Structure 1
Amino acid sequence: MLPSPFLLIHGFGSAWKQWQHNILPLSRYAPVYALDLLGFGWSEKAATVYNSRLWLEQIYDFWAQFIQRPIILVGHSLGALVAATVAVDRANMVQRLILVTVPNTRQDMISAPWLQASVGTLERLFTSPLLVRLIFKLARQPRFIRSALQSVYKKSDRVTDSLVSQFVIPTSDRGAAQTLCRLTQSATQPNYSASRQSLLGAISQPTLIIWGLADNIVPLKGCEAEMAANPQITLTTIPEAGHCLYDECADEFNQAIAQWLG
């Protein structure tokens, strides 16, 4: 029997190339696929509403065309939410699931109706197209991207010119600024993603969650109880690893997957 292939799903603002230190090591166990979610990387900057359902359908279409057998689905951050959505809603696709940090969603953080109304006003202010476009002009500058990555990576020496260019180049795509507006506005909507708690509770496949203990973007604290409630979930942590642990601590990350797969 052929081994189940890997399908790698990147996080917000990233692209498939950031898995460059994982693709070859994982390919020793099974074929590896990676794609750019719509709106990110080298994918189309489509004029659409962005949410987990859209990316679920994109992943399903890719799987149906190129793979057509159960996979080991790997997702990082936003990609972890999308991967969990796929595992819950298209369970026949996913044999095993690997989630690399799982962020809170809007529903997790803002549950009280009175708070939703207040936060909604602020969200409309800070996601206005004019403000987002101004931020985009700043954020696309290589020195800004380098500084942002150095604040995310625990090991700042991993922030190379090549890595910075992976984030800079897609900002020149046609429609990139408008896509950022759509992404920020979509992220404030209730249908952007199911809550982390509901997704983790509904997963039926064997699942490995890998977290960097030095992650200052999505800290582990607060998620332990949600993971412990599902016996299918196994947690592995990597000390001194930040948010992009699959890249900055690639050897430890790849080894954690290998040990879990047995």
Structure 2
Amino acid sequence: MNRLQVNGFSMSYEKWGEGENTLLLIHGNLGSKQWWNLVKEELASHFTVYMVDLRGCGQSEKPTDGYSVPQYGEDVVSFIKQMGISHFSLVGHSMGGVIAMDVASKIPDQVDKLILLNPAPADGFVTSEDKYQIIEQYSTNRELLKSALTAVVPKGAHTPLFLDLVEDAWNSTHTAIPNAQSLGTIDYSEWAATFAKPTLLLFGEQDVLISLEDMKRTIECFKDGKLITHPGVGHSPQVEDPEWFVRETLEFLLTKK
């Protein structure tokens, strides 16, 4: 396991492959770098792949504060600078999608291409008060948490990997409330209109959290954006249909533009 001191905490990360071009993968809310386990080796046959555990998640340290989209973005930018990565493409899943937007907004000249995988909408995602009451129970009710994760990985909930994803989520429930609060305050839609790099939005149409209309609205913000949907999966295509995710990702990244 690799570690790097980033903004006052120890960040856990993995590096796969030795490709000429770099690909950075960012997980979502209550996630970890394990969410990329089914796709990392295939991607690493073409790229140098980095997967990070965001602060408080996975095997990274758990600071008492800093759980917001802009701070996660700052942490990733610090990681990129310390690792000496000059140019890279970026993939962000769910909340990781808007974290990827934040990173790209901070260092746009270093980003080659951007992939958003069932991302939170560019103009934010407001959590209703009744949902907060449920989220607050995640830290004490493991079965409730497992049920919530099953809803966002509907085609992958019976795999061995899923049990590891539940374990990582259980150990990062302290991030859930501040993450939800942060998602309700962000807005990258105006920035997206200034971002000139190729951007791909991949969306599993069975998503129970985010609508296709949200995704159409998000990709329309980008100057050079493209939307591809998969009718057979939900919120987490990289777990539910990893072959589809890899195929679409490689086709986009390996096409010279």
TM class by shorter chain equals 0.7 to 0.9
Q: Which has the larger radius of gyration?
A: 1
1:176-215 map, 5 Å: 179-180=174-175, 183-185=176-178, 187-188=180-181, 194-215=186-207
Change over 3 Å in CA distance of 1:155–1:107 after alignment to 2 = closer
Change over 3 Å in CA distance of 1:239–1:169 after alignment to 2 = closer
- 1:106 Cα shift? 7.6
Query: Aligned letter for 2:177?
Result: T
Whether 1:70 aligns to 2:62 is no
Q: What is the TM-score with the length of structure 1 in the denominator? A: 0.78
CA–CA separation in structure 2 for the residues paired with 1:51 and 1:26: 28
Query: Aligned letter for 1:247?
Result: V
How many percent of aligned residue pairs carry the same amino acid?
Answer: 23
Whether 1:51 aligns to 2:54 is no
- 1:48 Cα shift? 1.1
CA–CA separation in structure 2 for the residues paired with 1:234 and 1:60: 25
Q: Which digits, 9 at most, give the CA deviation of each residue in 1:93-129, with x for residues without a partner?
A: 311111111213785659xxxxxxxx7xx58x9479x
- 1:185 Cα shift? 3.8
Query: Does structure 2 conserve the Cα–Cα contact (< 8 Å) formed by 1:70 and 1:94?
Result: yes
Number of equivalenced pairs = 236
CA–CA separation in structure 1 for the residues paired with 2:38 and 2:169: 20
- Structure 1 runs (4+) deviating above 4 angstroms are 105-110, 125-128
Other-structure match for 1:136: 139
CA–CA separation in structure 2 for the residues paired with 1:3 and 1:194: 34
Q: What is the TM-score with the length of structure 2 in the denominator? A: 0.80
Change over 3 Å in CA distance of 1:67–1:249 after alignment to 2 = farther
CA–CA separation in structure 2 for the residues paired with 1:199 and 1:170: 31
**Structure 2 alignment gaps of length 5 or more:** 1-18
The residue matched to 1:214 in structure 2 has which SS? coil
Other-structure match for 1:234: 226
Normalized per residue, the structure richer in helix is 1
Normalized per residue, the structure richer in strand is 2
- 1:208 Cα shift? 1.0
Change over 3 Å in CA distance of 1:70–1:170 after alignment to 2 = same
Change over 3 Å in CA distance of 1:30–1:48 after alignment to 2 = same
1:1-262 map, 5 Å: 3-104=20-121, 122=129, 126=132, 132=136, 134-138=137-141, 141=142, 143-156=143-156, 158-169=157-168, 171-172=170-171, 179-180=174-175, 183-185=176-178, 187-188=180-181, 194-261=186-253, 262=255
CA RMSD of aligned residues (A): 2.9
